Amino acid sequence: MDKLVVILFACAWGGVEVYSQMRQRRRRGGATTPADRGSLIMLYACITVGYGIAFAMSYSPHGRLPVGQPFWLVVGAAFVAGGLWIRRSAMATLAAYFTYQVEIKADHRLVEEGLYRRIRHPGYLGQLLVFLGIGLALANWLSIVGLLVPVIFGFAWRIRVEEAALRAEFGERFDDYCRRTRPLIPWVY
């Protein structure tokens, strides 16, 4: 039953993200320069593959985490809650500059406030923590690895695409910002 709740949550969260992206796309205002290079589709594909592996492995007798449920469900829920808070905070800081597809708006500015003072992609950090929480809640290390490997690959590609677009728009100012910050984890990476 715990696994079913986790799987339903993961699918619902994914559905909300996709719905929000489609809604934003319909309402998009102001001139933009698309720079996505297919990274959103690639990210969605990596997440789908990761979910498929994680959900299947969670039913395997191999890779079960010690202690069992409900411990891992609670730990996973804490990671999910923290990740969602970080993601929403990052989205609120970006405000009108937040987009699901990588794009530069006509009046775009480089945001360096809030969580962006220390890390360049707090929204992605938040999402990665949510995925880690989902993997932990499934209580199987094979599920965690199966989910995170494709998802990390997708986010690594997306970060490269996004940073190339920002570098093209802001040049040396973005390079200075990169020297002062880390992509995902303050003082580490």
39-86, pLDDT tens digit by residue?
999 999 999 999 999 999 999 999 999 887 789 999 999 999 999 999
Inter-CA distances, 6 with 18, 83, 136, 158, 183, Å: 18, 15, 10, 26, 28
Q: Check residue 5 and report its DSSP letter.
A: H
Instruction: Quickly state the pLDDT bin for 33 (edges 50, 70, 90).
Output: low
Domains of the chain: 2-15+37-98+108-180 (1.20.120.1630)
Q: Check residue 103 and report its DSSP letter.
A: E
β-bridge partners, 135: none
121-176, pLDDT tens digit by residue?
999 999 999 999 999 999 999 999 999 999 999 999 999 999 999 999 999 999 99
Structure pTM? 0.91
Inter-CA distances, 85 with 8, 79, 126, 130, 132, Å: 20, 10, 7, 10, 14
Whether residue 94 contacts residue 18, with contact meaning beta carbons closer than 8 Å, is answered with no
Query: CA geometry: angle at 13 spanning 38 and 164, to 5°?
Result: 30
Q: Which helix (H) or strand (E) holds 105?
A: strand 103-105
Whether residue 170 contacts residue 46, with contact meaning beta carbons closer than 8 Å, is answered with no
12-31, pLDDT tens digit by residue?
989 999 888 888 888 776 55
Averaged confidence pLDDT in the chain = 91
Whether residue 39 contacts residue 102, with contact meaning beta carbons closer than 8 Å, is answered with yes
Half-sphere exposure (CA, 13 Å, Cβ side) for 79? 21
